[in-house]
Amino acid sequence: MNIATHLPSFILGIPLLFAFLTPIANKFSKEIRNAVFLTGLLLTGLFVGLMAYEVYTTGGWVYIFGAQDPVGELTTESLFRITFVADGFSTLATLTIIITAIGAAFYSLGYMKESPGMGKYYTLFLLTLAGVNGMVLTSDLFNLFVWFEVTSIASCALVAYHNERGKSVEAALKYMIISVVGGLLLLVSIGLFYGEYGVLNYALIGDSVHGSFIDLLAIGIIMVILAMKASSVPMHMWAPDAYAEAPEPITPFIAITSLGALFVLFRLIFFVFRGAVEPPALGTILIFLGVLSMFVGVSMALKQSDIKRLIAYLSVSQIGYMMMAVGVGFATLDTADYGSFGAMAIEGGFFHMINDGVYKALLFLSAAAVIYATKIRDLNKLGGLAHNMPYTTFFFIIGALSIAGIPPLSGFSSKLLIYESVYLYHPILAIIALVVSIITLALVAKVFFNAFLGPDQKMSKGEVPSSMLIAMGILTAVVILFSLFPHYVVSEIVVPAMESLGVGA
């Protein structure tokens, strides 16, 4: 049997294995610990790349854990086994996750090298990676709950890593309460589906749902919980605190867990909920949540002077673009409008997901470099950093122009698809999206002028350590690559993700 068959299990198993090897290695030396951590991370990245190659060249498959034939058809015997799906959509998700994880990991080597308890930090990092990978790869509801809990526990502990700071503990407590309540409600909804149909597999539930009251109740609960985890307004209240108070290198990785929840939500909407709720109704809900997230996120960012909180609220607004675009596409399913602009909307939404994961990580890490060099987070107290931190300044500019959707960077390419498609659905949506982008540009310009321009105030002695520059350089290279070849990203990565959900371009 080809080793490629088992790639989904490696993507999950490697970070779990190395999460427990890292504290053992820490008993010997910091160098061995760091080497073990990076080995686990890079091996996971290797297997993600191999899975992507297999999916794009030979097609996707369902992997059944413990079955005699792990890629066989779902049978009565396999109904209660753990199943993962390796297809274009899970590949899009895992690629987004691993790119961000590699950037955050290399950044941590320099930023956190003097911090105590790094063995625990790296263990939690790898557990979070395993959890979010499990969420996007699984194809049954109970294992979604398991990996939801793993992700929540590990990421909550990371938020509270600086437990000597009251604000960090408070942020972690908020995150923990919301995650615990969310996990319990998710379990309730899973029980409703199981009591109704006796199965938990996505495909089998999708074939069975018919829109009963129980179906709608379970769907409503799951949508609320995943929208909360994705930091969609009005369930976003935990995100700015968690992003702002988590250790600076881990902030983009905490944010990627939100994007992972959005990936799960979209899979369930297209693969499971589609048979129970009319697409126009469900699409309208997504559009409403998206517009609300865009408006509230950017509005709250206007009043922020803390550089991390400002980017955190911009992150909330970017989630809105994805929800609005996918909502427009879903609302037009099975109509002539889907071919005219609905498919383009989904293309834009999915392209924006991988874009956002990368440039948002770059922005957070650029802000972390400012904090590392100056020990200041207040924009009103910063200035002149470009004189001594030219590389960080350049990296910030790339991330800032991308999130604002300025051509020719990749953020513009995905936003252009969104603008064009949602305009044909309803012009007011495109106007709102454009206005939010203009305000976003004004906000990142404010950060740039306040933090980097002006006379040298001797706040920094020079650039941050090389490992941190390498991390930002990796993310910048990916942004530039996406900017140079947007059509390739859409045709080779985004379109297969759409086709795997049964909504080809």
- Spatial distance between the Cα atoms of 165 and 151, rounded to a whole number of angstroms: 23
Tokens representing 182? 């969310």
Query: Hunting for tokens 């996971």 — which residue is that?
Result: 44
pLDDT score of 90 more than 90: yes
Q: Regarding beta strands 61-64 and 83-86, do their DSSP bridges make them parallel or antiparallel, or are they unpaired?
A: antiparallel
Q: State the helix-helix crossing angle for 88-111 and 251-271, rounded to 10 degrees.
A: 170
Residue 180 vs residues 138, 140, 225, 439, 442: alpha-carbon distances, Å = 20, 20, 11, 35, 37
Task: Report the range of poorest mean pLDDT among 78-87, 131-140, 436-445, 464-473.
Answer: 78-87
Give yes or no for a contact between 448 and 400, defined as CB atoms under 8 angstroms apart: yes
Provide mean pLDDT across the span 470-497. Answer: 95
Supply the DSSP symbol for 463.
P
pLDDT score of 312 more than 90: yes
More confident residue, 65 or 436: 436
pLDDT in tens, 399-438: 999 999 999 999 999 999 999 999 999 999 999 999 999 9
Mark out the alpha helices in 246-377 (DSSP H runs).
251-271, 279-301, 307-331, 336-337, 343-374
Mark out the alpha helices in 112-162 (DSSP H runs).
118-137, 141-159
The pLDDT of residue 80 is: 67
Q: Look at residue 311 and give its three-state secondary structure.
A: helix
Supply the DSSP symbol for 123.
H
pLDDT score of 83 more than 90: no
Residue 338 vs residues 116, 273, 421, 436: alpha-carbon distances, Å = 54, 18, 10, 25
Which pLDDT band holds residue 166 (cuts at 50, 70, 90)?
confident
φ/ψ (deg, to 5) at 70: -65, -15
The pLDDT of residue 450 is: 93
Provide mean pLDDT across the span 369-389. Answer: 92
The pLDDT of residue 62 is: 86
The pLDDT of residue 73 is: 57
pLDDT score of 76 more than 70: no
- Spatial distance between the Cα atoms of 288 and 331, rounded to a whole number of angstroms: 12
pLDDT in tens, 10-45: 999 999 999 999 999 989 988 999 999 999 999 999
Query: Hunting for tokens 């910063």 — which residue is that?
Result: 382
Provide mean pLDDT across the span 213-238. Answer: 93
Tokens representing 110? 């320099």
- Provide the whole-model pTM: 0.94
490's CB contacts (< 8 A; 6+ apart) are 347, 351, 417
- Spatial distance between the Cα atoms of 313 and 301, rounded to a whole number of angstroms: 5
φ/ψ (deg, to 5) at 460: -130, 140
The pLDDT of residue 505 is: 64
Query: Hunting for tokens 């790119």 — which residue is that?
Result: 99
Provide mean pLDDT across the span 57-79. Answer: 72
pLDDT in tens, 248-270: 888 998 888 999 999 999 999 99
Provide mean pLDDT across the span 73-88. Answer: 73
- Arithmetic mean of pLDDT over the chain: 91
- Spatial distance between the Cα atoms of 327 and 284, rounded to a whole number of angstroms: 6
pLDDT score of 71 more than 80: no
The residue count of the chain comes to: 505
Which pLDDT band holds residue 385 (cuts at 50, 70, 90)?
very high
Provide mean pLDDT across the span 370-390. Answer: 92
Give yes or no for a contact between 128 and 257, defined as CB atoms under 8 angstroms apart: yes
Which pLDDT band holds residue 78 (cuts at 50, 70, 90)?
low
Which pLDDT band holds residue 457 (cuts at 50, 70, 90)?
confident
